[in-house]
Amino acid sequence: MVTRRTTVSRTSGTRRTQRRASPYLAFAILSLALLVLVLLLGSVLGFEFYYADRIYPGVSVWGVDVGGLQPGQAAPRLEEGVVLDSLLVAFEGAGLQRPARFTDLGLRLDTQATLAPAYQYGRGLSRVDNLLTHLELLVSSQDLAPVFVYDERVAQAYLEALAEEIDIPATEASLTFDGVTPVVTASESGRMLDVAATLARLSPAVSKMAPAKVALVVTDLSPAVTDAEPARAQAEAMLASPLTLVLPQPGENDPGPWEIPPEQLVAMLVVREEDTPSPEGGTLYTALDEGAVRGYLQWVAPSLVIEPVDARFHFNDQTGELEPISPSQDGRALDIDASVASIVQELEAGNHTVSLELEVTAPRYPDTALAEEVGIVELVAEGDSYFIGSPSGRDRNIRLAATKFDGIVIPPGETFSFNHFLGEVTAEAGYDESYISAGEQLAIEVGGGICQVSTTAFRAAFWGGYPIVERWPHNNRIGYYELRKAGVGMDATVYSPYVDFKFVNDREYPLLIETEIEDAGHRLVFRFYSTDDGRQVEKEGPDVTGKTKPGPPIYQLDEDLDPGTVIKWQSAVDGQTAVVTRKVYNAAGELVAKDTFVSKYDARRAAYHYGPGYVPPGGGD
């Protein structure tokens, strides 16, 4: 019993000792493993912490080491290390060889885009994959490709500048003039760099980022006009002699002929290209410039105008018909369009003498006109005045001037001008000298008394209700114009070309003017014939105000008078202002016009002219 217990005891003692030794060893091993793990984890954490904002070591771009650098630090190193200047593109063509750097063609390093993948290398994967990548970088580095940006606009600008050296414009055949001698310039072909096509050839070389040769695409340019010889021959023929323009049947007093010498004609030529050029090129021809010819003819045209002459008429009150008292005459004018066409055609045919084209201009009122056709069918107004006691010169002038208006026709809407129809007032025209109102004293002048005629025309227009657009009263009252029932303020003076009498024919029909002198009463009458539109005219006045008395008589020495004689030159006349009002009513009795005619007359002193030896009262003026 004792022995089993020992044995057991030994056995038990041994087992207890082994159990105590095993935990210590395990602990030691575990501790060592934990220490290694902590150290390893610390190293990894330290590595990651340090490279948190840096590119992992072992990363390079195009051979430039950027590992361990922040992207901002890596940028200048990368830009300095990636050099493109050594890469050249050789452009060849058109006898030209031009090397160009890639940077000159718009290629540049995109630093930010290049460094972005370098920074991301070893990031963005699982932790294990990232760790394996980091271990891999420690063993062997990773070289990444750079990112370049290609701006084709820069390359285009480069080629456009190159085109200035290559491009040669085609030379068109042309014709110029040395004086009157035509000179031909021959055509020549040209060339042009096709920038777009050359850019297309450049793109593959840029993509490969390797030195390359690029053939320039050069296009041959053919001139559009290749032959100027026909134009030279035509110009030479046209300038061989002067161009002479003539009238078809010139009269004795007609102008012309007109000669255009070659020195002037050459400026009227124009060189043009034919309308349908051949595939081989266009041909030039020479022709007259129609615009230049037209300009020349517009200068000639006024000298060829003969105005048509309307017939003059009397209205027969018994038959109601128009009776011509002077015939109508056709006029003429230069037909510029037809003349231009004829000149161009004839000169191109080799003819240097060309007849101008004229056109007939018909009168508005030919002597065949009928009263009903034109609307002159009745008397619509009448005005009269008296010139009893007029000196012979004044009497003659009145009668002659009145004939200038007898039978004339004023178209609807036109303005009657007294001076226009009166014409020149000269001795050569048949007028005598007589008294005229001029300043303080009456004067003697050719045509004295014509105002009797303008006054009578004014009265007819007044009673016809025609709009009066110009009327001037005399400076002083004239006794002739106040005879019978006319009264003061119904006169109209004229003095061509400064003072005129005008009115408008505002009726729808022409106005025929007849003049008549009744010798028995020395009465001048203006009669207006047209179509009555029912208008009525009323006269109010004259209202006379502002009367003034003349001063003392004027005595003036006249060396041509007999000694001691004295004659009365003019009578004294009071001054005053006379206002006449005209009211015009239409056929319905409505007032359509109210006109006021103001005549301010100055007082005029009596005047006496005396011969040598006469002593006027008060010694004279």
369-388 confidence digits (pLDDT tens):
999 999 999 999 999 999 99
Number of residues written out for the chain: 621
Least confident interval from 15-24, 552-561, 602-611: 15-24
- Tokens representing 196 are 């777009």
Q: What is the pLDDT of residue 621?
A: 52
Per-residue pLDDT tens for 62-93? 888 888 888 888 889 887 877 666 668 899 98
Whether residue 336 is predicted with pLDDT greater than 70 in this model: the reply is yes
Q: What is the pLDDT of residue 21?
A: 52
Put residue 619 in one of left, alpha, beta given phi > 0 → left and psi -120 to 50 → alpha: left
Distance between CA 217 and CA 202 in Å, rounded?
11
Q: What is the pLDDT of residue 12?
A: 41
Which of 387, 404, 512 has its CA nearest to residue 455? 387
Higher confidence at residue 511 or residue 109?
511
Whether residue 11 is predicted with pLDDT greater than 60 in this model: the reply is no
Whether residue 14 is predicted with pLDDT greater than 60 in this model: the reply is no
Please answer whether residues 75 and 111 qualify as being in contact, where contact means their C-beta atoms are separated by less than 8 angstroms. Answer: yes
Q: Return mean pLDDT, the chain.
A: 89
Let me know if 470 is exposed, middle or buried by CB neighbors in 10 A (0-12, 13-18, 19+). Answer: middle
Whether residue 5 is predicted with pLDDT greater than 60 in this model: the reply is no
Neighbours of 537 (CB within 10 A): 16
- Tokens representing 334 are 């230069």
Whether residue 138 is predicted with pLDDT greater than 50 in this model: the reply is yes
Type of residue numbered 420? H
Whether residue 503 is predicted with pLDDT greater than 70 in this model: the reply is yes
Q: What is the pLDDT of residue 278?
A: 67
pLDDT bracket for residue 9 (50, 70, 90): very low
Q: What is the pLDDT of residue 6?
A: 29
Domain boundaries, the chain: 51-223, 242-361, 378-539+580-600
Whether residue 555 is predicted with pLDDT greater than 70 in this model: the reply is yes
Average pLDDT over residues 543-557: 92
Please measure the distance between the N-terminal and C-terminal CA atoms of the chain and give it in whole angstroms: 202
Least confident interval from 13-17, 290-294, 300-304: 13-17
Cβ-Cβ contacts under 8 Å for 445 (sequence gap 6 or more): 433, 434, 436, 438
pLDDT bracket for residue 619 (50, 70, 90): low
Distance between CA 404 and CA 425 in Å, rounded?
11
Least confident interval from 101-105, 361-365, 427-431: 101-105
Q: What is the pLDDT of residue 378?
A: 97
Whether residue 481 is predicted with pLDDT greater than 60 in this model: the reply is yes
Higher confidence at residue 98 or residue 337?
337
Please answer whether residues 171 and 185 qualify as being in contact, where contact means their C-beta atoms are separated by less than 8 angstroms. Answer: yes
Q: What is the pLDDT of residue 447?
A: 83
Distance between CA 567 and CA 56 in Å, rounded?
139
Average pLDDT over residues 437-443: 74
Whether residue 261 is predicted with pLDDT greater than 70 in this model: the reply is yes
Maximum average pLDDT range among 8-17, 122-131, 444-453, 509-518: 509-518
Whether residue 28 is predicted with pLDDT greater than 90 in this model: the reply is no
Domain 242-361 sits in CATH at 3.10.20
- Give the β-pairing of 88-93 and 212-215: parallel
Strand order in the sheet with 64-65: 64-65, 59-61, 142-144
Report the DSSP beta bridge partners of residue 442. Answer: 437
Maximum average pLDDT range among 193-202, 277-286, 509-518: 509-518
Least confident interval from 87-91, 110-114, 538-542, 552-556: 87-91
Q: What is the pLDDT of residue 145?
A: 83
Average pLDDT over residues 411-427: 96
Q: What is the pLDDT of residue 247?
A: 95
Strands (E), 463-574: 468-470, 502-504, 511-518, 523-530, 536-548, 554-557, 566-570
Whether residue 16 is predicted with pLDDT greater than 50 in this model: the reply is no
